[in-house]
């Protein structure tokens, strides 16, 4: 198709390709999903603050940072919330690095509702850009398989939870993609910079630095470390070092505290408490004491480190498999750091172990298979995690609930096809189906 269109600009040529048309069709799906959120009174993300809780905590923390107050003091954050007349649950307060407050600070000059809308728009643009570059990356796939990959990418449910609550995770995804892109383009210094930005927006991406150290990719480490003074120093210019020290003294070590980590500003790992403490995302009958919670939390942390070490030493001669394992690990961490519960957490860990074994000891064929499995991780967790929250969504918004379930079943079906292809040791497209 490039021949007759060679005199057109490259974006026009790309848009005329069948795979590009399929990409646009799948992107329309996300537009439709957001439209459903807008017009549905029960979960109206534009006219109510209830579905922007996470962003509003960033917003309030950024205001406290800009006015040189202690953004990690939950009492000051609650007082500011009441002053602005916002109605939402503060929860654990602002527990992120100070650089995130600096990053969000420009939006604090806007009215609250305008800032929320602007943040949603930024996230949609980032998501569209990721879809565009992923589509260009996977154009070698056959149209049917390509459409299925893009459909999964544009429709997996956790992202819409991120859209609704205004979480930073979509931007973190973009930084991960740019990090991997930099490594692929043999620009490790740049990859280290992207990794450091992701780390200073949300702490857990720092685990990739451990991966780089184990692989002795010192240029990545150097790029990361050279960025640290800038990412730490700039926010401190406009705020107090005492507040920065307060973060390391009272927030990070607070996992050892006997306080309930979900309803106080005591734990940087408060996300795991959603699994076992009474909230919209857990079952009260599964509530555990604080000591059991500590064991589970550190178990997840050690499991994550184990995946990194395992991928480094078992796949050190195969960089592609190493990247696959890292993506699978990323999928698990992003899931448990989002809104999950017991019924999604346990099968996700089991599925992750299964994928690690599969990618380590079995062959893979398509360069997009790692990305597919990353998102299938979420779909399978959704399939096993039909909780009361999802059922309430089904009754409130039947067509939206149907889309969640249909996407989950489609992902599960596609995983079955891949498993069969692994058993017979043939790529899916060689199994007699023109679709694949």
Is 214 buried (19+), middle (13-18) or exposed (0-12) by CB count in 10 A?
Answer: middle
Looking at 137, 153, 168, which one is the last position of a domain?
168
321 is in which domain, residue-wise? 271-436
Task: Looking at 18-157, list the stretches that DSSP marks H as alpha helix, in order from N- to C-terminal side.
Answer: 18-39, 53-66, 74-84, 98-104, 112-137, 143-155
Q: What is the pLDDT of residues 304-326, one digit of tens each?
A: 556 556 655 555 555 555 555 55
Asked if residue 175 is part of any domain, the answer here is no
Looking at 127, 153, 168, which one is the last position of a domain?
168
Are both 300 and 434 inside the same structural domain? yes
Mean pLDDT, range 16-40, rounded to an integer? 61
Which pLDDT score is estimated for 109? 92
What is the helix (H) or strand (E) element at residue 434, kind and residue range? Answer: none
Q: What is the pLDDT of residues 58-116, one digit of tens each?
A: 888 888 888 888 777 777 777 888 788 776 655 556 777 788 888 898 998 988 888 88
Asked if residue 186 is part of any domain, the answer here is no
Are both 161 and 13 inside the same structural domain? yes
> Whole-number mean pLDDT of the chain?
61
Distances (CA, A) of 142 to 138, 367, 369, 420, 433: 9, 12, 13, 19, 11
Q: Which two tokens stand for residue 12?
A: 């026009």
Asked if residue 178 is part of any domain, the answer here is no
d(CA 168, CA 271) in angstroms, rounded, equals: 14
Instruction: Tell if the pTM clears 0.75, that is, is over it.
Output: no
Looking at 168, 200, 226, which one is the last position of a domain?
168
Asked if residue 222 is part of any domain, the answer here is no
Asked if residue 66 is part of any domain, the answer here is yes
Are both 29 and 163 inside the same structural domain? yes
Mean pLDDT, range 259-267, rounded to an integer? 37
Give the three-state DSSP class for 312: helix
Report the range out of 140-144, 201-205, 250-254, 274-278 with the highest average pLDDT: 201-205
Are both 16 and 161 inside the same structural domain? yes
Question: Is a pLDDT exceeding 80 seen at residue 196?
Answer: yes
As for how many domains the chain has, the answer is 2
Asked if residue 181 is part of any domain, the answer here is no
Asked if residue 301 is part of any domain, the answer here is yes
- Find how far residue 274's CA is from the centre of its chain: 17
Q: What is the pLDDT of residues 333-374, one digit of tens each?
A: 444 444 444 444 444 444 444 444 444 444 344 444 444 444
CA 114, 115, 116, 121 torsion: positive or negative?
positive
Asked if residue 323 is part of any domain, the answer here is yes
Phi, psi of 261, deg, nearest 5: -75, -10
Which pLDDT score is estimated for 342? 42
């Amino acid at each position: 198709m490039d021949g007759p269109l060679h005199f057109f600009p490259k974006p026009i040529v790309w848009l005329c390709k069948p795979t590009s048309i399929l990409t646009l069709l799948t992107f329309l799906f996300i537009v439709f999903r957001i439209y459903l959120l807008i017009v549905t009174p029960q979960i109206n993300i534009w006219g109510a603050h209830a579905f922007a809780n996470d962003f509003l905590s960033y917003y309030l923390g950024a205001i406290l940072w800009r006015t040189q107050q202690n953004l990690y003091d939950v009492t000051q954050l609650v007082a500011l919330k009441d002053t602005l007349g916002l109605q939402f649950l503060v929860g654990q307060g602002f527990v992120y690095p100070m650089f995130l407050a600096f990053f969000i600070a420009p939006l604090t000059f806007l009215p609250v509702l305008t800032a929320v809308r602007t943040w949603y728009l930024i996230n949609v643009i980032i998501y569209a850009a990721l879809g565009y570059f992923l589509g260009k990356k996977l154009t070698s796939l056959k149209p049917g398989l390509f459409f299925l990959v893009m459909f999964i990418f544009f429709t997996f449910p956790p992202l819409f939870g991120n859209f609704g609550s205004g979480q930073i995770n979509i931007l973190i995804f973009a930084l991960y993609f740019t990090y991997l892109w930099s490594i692929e383009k043999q620009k490790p210094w740049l990859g280290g910079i992207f990794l450091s930005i992701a780390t200073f927006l949300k702490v857990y991406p720092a685990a990739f630095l451990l991966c780089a150290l184990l692989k002795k990719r010192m240029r990545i480490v150097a790029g990361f470390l050279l960025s640290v003074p800038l990412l730490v120093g700039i926010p401190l210019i406009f705020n107090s070092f005492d507040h920065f020290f307060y973060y390391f003294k009272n927030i990070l070590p607070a996992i050892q505290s006997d306080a309930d980590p979900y309803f106080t500003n005591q734990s940087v790992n408060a996300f795991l408490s959603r699994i076992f403490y009474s909230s919209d995302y857990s079952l009260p009958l599964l509530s555990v004491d604080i000591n059991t919670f500590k064991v589970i939390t550190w178990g997840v942390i050690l499991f994550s480190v184990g995946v990194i070490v395992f991928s480094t030493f078992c796949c050190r001669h195969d960089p592609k498999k190493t990247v696959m394992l890292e993506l699978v690990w990323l999928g698990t961490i992003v899931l448990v750091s989002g809104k999950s519960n017991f019924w999604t957490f346990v099968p996700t860990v089991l599925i992750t172990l299964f994928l690690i074994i599969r990618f380590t000891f079995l062959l893979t064929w398509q360069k997009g298979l790692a990305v597919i499995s990353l998102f299938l991780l979420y779909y399978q967790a959704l399939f096993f995690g039909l909780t009361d929250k999802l059922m309430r969504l089904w009754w409130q918004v039947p067509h939206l609930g149907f889309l969640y379930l249909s996407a989950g079943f489609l992902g599960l079906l596609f995983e079955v096809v891949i498993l069969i292809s692994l058993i017979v040791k043939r790529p899916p497209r060689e199994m007699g189906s023109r679709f694949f």
